[in-house]
Structure 1
Amino acid sequence: MLNVRLTLCAAALLGLAAFTQAAEVEVLHYWTSGGEAKAAGELKTMLEAKGDKWKDFAVAGGAGENAMTALKTRVVSGNPPAAAQLKGPAIQEWGDQGVLVSIDDVAKAEGWDKLLPPVVANVMKYKGQYVAAPVNVHRVNWLWINADLLKKANAKAPTTWDEFFKTADAMQKAGIIPVAIGGQSWQEAELLESVALGVGGASFYKKAFVQLDQATLKSPTMIKVLETYKRIKPYTDKAANGRDWNLATAMVINGKAGMQFMGDWAKGEFAVAGKQAGKDFLCVAAPGSADAYTFNVDSFAFFKLKDKDAEKGQRDLAQLLMSPKFQEVFNLYKGSIPARQGMDLSKFDDCAKKSSADFKNAAAKGTLVPSWAHDMAIPPAAEGAIYDVAAQFWNDDSMTAQTAAQKIAAAARAQ
């Protein structure tokens, strides 16, 4: 009997030791809306099933500015999280600071170079080694439309800017707010981005908002882009100031507005509300941009930690983020498509299937471009400065498109 008790006691102590040694993985993210929170919850569940402990570090704010401020504070204090939601050039900038840890061993073991399109894989690497793992690919240049309100206005889903303004006029005459938007600088910048792609095309977009070419930013095409952008404002409502993006999406979901320009994270909100693509809402490329694709990739970069035991948790998280199961479940909630190529999309809706097909077509045509409004293309200083001009022009009726173009060109030089 004594031996049995000793054996049970030893087993209990071993169990306690295993529990106390579970790696704590603190994850900084800004997924706080309905669809996003569900996606983050799924990640937590799957990580803890691996025996690790999830420590949530959620910072509200759709574009991530608040999260990035919090991250800087933690890194400067010498206490970074295990992983943080980062995108585009920011990954390289943190790499330059010497604070990221390589997860190349996980990437090589899992064959990430074969599973990721080069345009995504290259963003995840610093000096040739993976330091971040992608979870999805968002298409930014979407226009979401309430199907019932479109029918009520006796209008059609627009494919050109002329058609868009006809549809907006029809909705307005029917007593419908044509365009839902939140009066926040990142939402205004995203709208400008989609207008630029639709009016100028992918080649113009690359020169203007990836290369920041001064002549292109001051060109007649840029002036036309800005005039089209500003022409949309009378079709929005006066209560937009300060509204979060998901509340603007809710206006379309609830029949209070007809359309919204927003990346496909908006679809996650439609899904949470029980709405069906093609029946309750339509997803169409922003006018003029059907042959192009602005991409935004959510990813997690991994930081050097003092606690070496936490490295096991970081590698578990990296492996999990790229696993087929997580990529499927996460993106079904998030509204995006898997970053991992070759996956079965049978559970995804028509919008996601169209996004996947359009991504491949745009990659083949050379019209796949990074979203400058979502941290994928240009340095943060230039991005922020252009944000400011876009917001100023949107809200100042006395500013001309010519003046705005000159200001954007000057903003692009910000370092």
Structure 2
Amino acid sequence: MSEFHVRAVAEGEQRACLEVLEQALHAKPISDEDWAKMAPSWPAAGKFAAFDDHDTPVGISSSFDIELTVPGGRKLVTAAVDGVAVRADWTRRGILTTMMSAQLEDFAARGVPLAALHASEGVIYGRYGYGAATFDRGVFVERPRAQVRDGVGRDGVVRFVTPAEAVERVPALYNRFEGTRPGFAARPAQWWPGFFDRLVTGDGGYRVAIHSGPDGDDGFVVYQTIDTRDRTAPERGAILEIRELHAGTPEAWAGLWRFLLSVDLVSGVAGRGRPLDEPIAALLTDPRAVNTTEIIDELWVRLVDVLTALRARTYGTAEPVVLEVLDKQLPDNNGRYLVGPGGVERTTAEAELRLDVAELASLYFGQGFFRDLVVAGRIEVLDEGAVDRADALFHTARAAWCGTFF
């Protein structure tokens, strides 16, 4: 049996490593054209790979740095893990664990306090200290039943832009959004070529529309049209499927939804990955026109430096609580933390709640409740009164949402 070794990816090895990821995800082989679009978003930096004894990549773990907004509005450097895979003929040999360990140790050595990823499967990453920290929902809005309330979303204009214009204009527009919502991701220049540009200039038929209000451009939507007609129902309208919708103001958000729901020959507007608290139903005269099709985990988060991450966010009003955190991969995080409205400190006081770093990560952005994880047997309670205090401290009124795929 061949052995493997894990090391940093060298310049010139990126495409071969990406092919390992694409094969694991059952995607088509990468064409030269696709690689030309993808390459700027797939540098060697931030990548660890497993190689066989011929130095051929058989596994990949990739990341790049972004900033995520944490509760309270501060932006925290985060390692965005944008690809983890092992070639099918090399699985079950410890490659994934070895790569993930090397990656986590690199994050810690570089002083990156958070890591985040979008999980292809929900059972993999908890063992490496990641917890499902943000959630989103799929929606389907029925037309023509969905009528926007009079006077809402009429103060601006919406215009189509060409793919070339979208590539030029949308990044600057997105970067104007302050991102006060917990979980919101700032998109570095590296992100755009491989994710946005590749999408809107590809052959998927995506259209981009920009909303302009009194102060200029303030929102955009990216969507494609899905033709649902067939021989038995030639009159059936198309479905507009939203890929992205971001707005800097409530008026821009309402204006973009009004635009989508006014397009002719459409039977519905669908969107995956929308915020849990997006008030689409409140926008309409008939709230039953909005159907939730799924609620699913969005962003999985790992606290690489527990103390730095806890100190970066703000907390609600309650008496402090002492958390004891357990971290098998990064033992420097092990210990007790006094968390309160005034800040966070390490402490030698008796623990009131004991939990794994993955459970703490799942609660970090203010979603979910300590009491639910207690019921599920995932948090050990040493002081019954601490559960309600922890929920009051950590939970946020606004749903956390990232809204950026990587």
Which bin holds the TM-score, normalised by the shorter protein? under 0.3
TM-score (norm. length: structure 2): 0.27
Structure having the higher strand fraction is 2
TM-score (norm. length: structure 1): 0.26
Higher RCO (C-alpha 8 Å, min separation 6): 1
